[in-house]
Amino acid sequence: MTQNQKKMFRNCYGSVFGVFIFAALFLSCAANNQQAVDISFGNDEIAQLNEQILSRAQMQSDASEYLLGAGDLLEVSVFEAEKLNAKVRVSSRGFITVPLLGQVLVKGSSAREAEQKIEDLYRKQYIKDPHVSIFVAEHYSQRVTLVGQFKNPGTYDYLSKQRLLDVIALGGGLSNTAGRIAQVRRSSNLPGEPGMFIIDLDRLIKEGKDELNIEINGGDVLFVPEAGVFFIGGAVRKPGAYPIKRKIIMQEALLEAGGLVPYANKDNIKLVRSTESGEKKVMVLDLKEQPVKELELKDRDIIIVDSSSFGKFVHGFWTQIGIPGAGIGYRDPELR
């Protein structure tokens, strides 16, 4: 071996050894530092849900479907007998007084339904084939209230019968932090009907369970809670914050974050959990254990997946062979 070849070998060997020492020192320091967790929500899924809600919503109202309520002034016309025509106001209990029939309950009915009810009552006793028309001369609009994770929560005029998806669309759709449960609280209980409904929006929208798209009444309150959230950082492909839409276990959470990177340390996963007293409890877990894979996550859990120093070195080390010489280097795989 010539002197020049020996000198080149010593320089190359020294460079490789130097890179190894530098990488070992750098990674040992980095292993002691936890990565900051990005807590911004991805909103692609919410955007898709809102798109489906708006595409299925019926936003146009029909005047004949206006829901009658206390204080409304109605003009009732009977075409077969003008003497039965009357201008009546809906009482606080929801009744109107109609000639020959007396009190008729109309609160919560649409104008069309009230017409049909009065026609049926006249048909039973007085007129063979009656035709009744109701015109709402004055109305105090019924309202529906949207509370929680809507884009535009608030109280809205509610002039005609609509279904759950229609009313969600009325509030602009769901916010980026919305859960997947809608709670409908009835303003007044009808006989045999519960005072509150809890609707799984995923089943309604994604699975097409149209029976869950219930009718909403004037005075109802719709509440969509904020989704629970877990945070995940470290040696995963997509660190960040993720909503807890339903029961989720550790293994599913890691998959939702894109899975582990090749240099992840599976036997050193830190779970930071808030206790009832507000303190933070840190658990060090081994993902190779089945109970850890099936561990159910809770709201505000933080998962940090540590990196293996050797694994990072192996995946960060690179060589480049070309002319006239060879190149050797190291690049932190977390910074790629």
**Residue 161 near residue 67 (C-beta atoms within 8 A):** yes
Residue 93 domain-assigned?
Answer: yes
Is the pLDDT at 189 greater than 70? The verdict is no
Higher pLDDT, 229 or 140: 229
In this prediction, residues 212-217 reach a mean pLDDT of 90
Q: What is the pLDDT of residue 263?
A: 85
Examine the domain organization and report whether 102 and 160 are in the same domain: no
In this prediction, residues 32-49 reach a mean pLDDT of 57
Select from 241, 243, 221 the least CA-distant residue to 233.
241
Strand partners, 243: 229
Q: Last residue of some domain: 224, 253, 269?
A: 224
- The rounded distance, in Å, linking the Cα atoms of 150 and 163 is 16
- The rounded distance, in Å, linking the Cα atoms of 279 and 262 is 33
Examine the domain organization and report whether 219 and 72 are in the same domain: no
Q: What is the pLDDT of residue 31?
A: 39
Q: Last residue of some domain: 138, 166, 183?
A: 138
Q: What is the pLDDT of residue 3?
A: 55
Residue 294 domain-assigned?
Answer: no
Residue 127 domain-assigned?
Answer: yes
Residue 261 domain-assigned?
Answer: no
pLDDT band at residue 153 under the 50/70/90 scheme = very high
Q: What is the pLDDT of residues 97-128, one digit of tens each?
A: 999 999 999 988 888 999 999 999 999 989 99
Q: What angle do CA 244, 248, 254 make, to 5 degrees?
A: 95
Q: What is the CATH number of the domain that holds 220?
A: 3.10.560.10
Residue 252 domain-assigned?
Answer: no
**Residue 32 near residue 270 (C-beta atoms within 8 A):** no
Phi, psi of 206 (to 5 degrees): -80, -35
Examine the domain organization and report whether 148 and 213 are in the same domain: yes
Q: Tell me what percent of the residues of the chain surpass a pLDDT of 90.
A: 33
Q: Tell me what percent of the residues of the chain surpass a pLDDT of 70.
A: 74
Q: What is the CATH number of the domain that holds 126?
A: 3.30.1950.10
Higher pLDDT, 17 or 334: 334
Q: What is the pLDDT of residue 2?
A: 54
Q: Where in the sequence is the domain holding 105, given as residue range(s)? A: 68-138
Q: What is the pLDDT of residue 78?
A: 95
Q: What is the pLDDT of residue 8?
A: 47
Q: Last residue of some domain: 161, 196, 224?
A: 224
In this prediction, residues 4-18 reach a mean pLDDT of 45
Q: What is the pLDDT of residue 83?
A: 92
DSSP-derived secondary structure letter, 260: B
Examine the domain organization and report whether 103 and 116 are in the same domain: yes
Q: What is the pLDDT of residue 15?
A: 41
In this prediction, residues 225-247 reach a mean pLDDT of 84
Residue 207 domain-assigned?
Answer: yes
**Residue 218 near residue 184 (C-beta atoms within 8 A):** no
Examine the domain organization and report whether 91 and 220 are in the same domain: no
Examine the domain organization and report whether 81 and 208 are in the same domain: no
Q: What is the pLDDT of residue 228?
A: 83
Please compute Rg for the chain using Cα positions: 34
Examine the domain organization and report whether 106 and 207 are in the same domain: no
Q: What is the pLDDT of residue 54?
A: 87
Examine the domain organization and report whether 55 and 178 are in the same domain: yes
pLDDT band at residue 172 under the 50/70/90 scheme = very high
Alpha-carbon distances, residue 253 vs 231, 240, 302 (angstroms): 9, 11, 11
H/E stretch holding 266 reads strand 264-274
In this prediction, residues 27-45 reach a mean pLDDT of 46
Examine the domain organization and report whether 76 and 129 are in the same domain: yes
pLDDT band at residue 191 under the 50/70/90 scheme = low
pTM score, whole prediction: 0.53
Residue 310 domain-assigned?
Answer: no
Q: What is the pLDDT of residues 298-322, one digit of tens each?
A: 888 889 998 876 555 555 544 444 4
Residue 241 domain-assigned?
Answer: no
What does the DSSP assignment read for 130-168? Answer: --EEEEEEE----EEEEEESBSS-EEEE--S-EEHHHHH
Structural domains of the chain, count: 2
Select from 224, 226, 166 the least CA-distant residue to 198.
224
In this prediction, residues 149-167 reach a mean pLDDT of 88
Q: What is the pLDDT of residue 241?
A: 79
Examine the domain organization and report whether 219 and 168 are in the same domain: yes
Q: What is the pLDDT of residue 268?
A: 87
Please state, as a whole number, how many other Cβ atoms lie within 10 Å of the Cβ of residue 173.
21
DSSP-derived secondary structure letter, 333: G
H/E stretch holding 201 reads helix 201-205
Cis check for the bond before 99: say yes or no (omega within 30 of 0).
no
Q: What is the pLDDT of residues 277-300, one digit of tens each?
A: 767 889 999 988 999 999 999 888
Examine the domain organization and report whether 198 and 106 are in the same domain: no
Examine the domain organization and report whether 56 and 104 are in the same domain: no
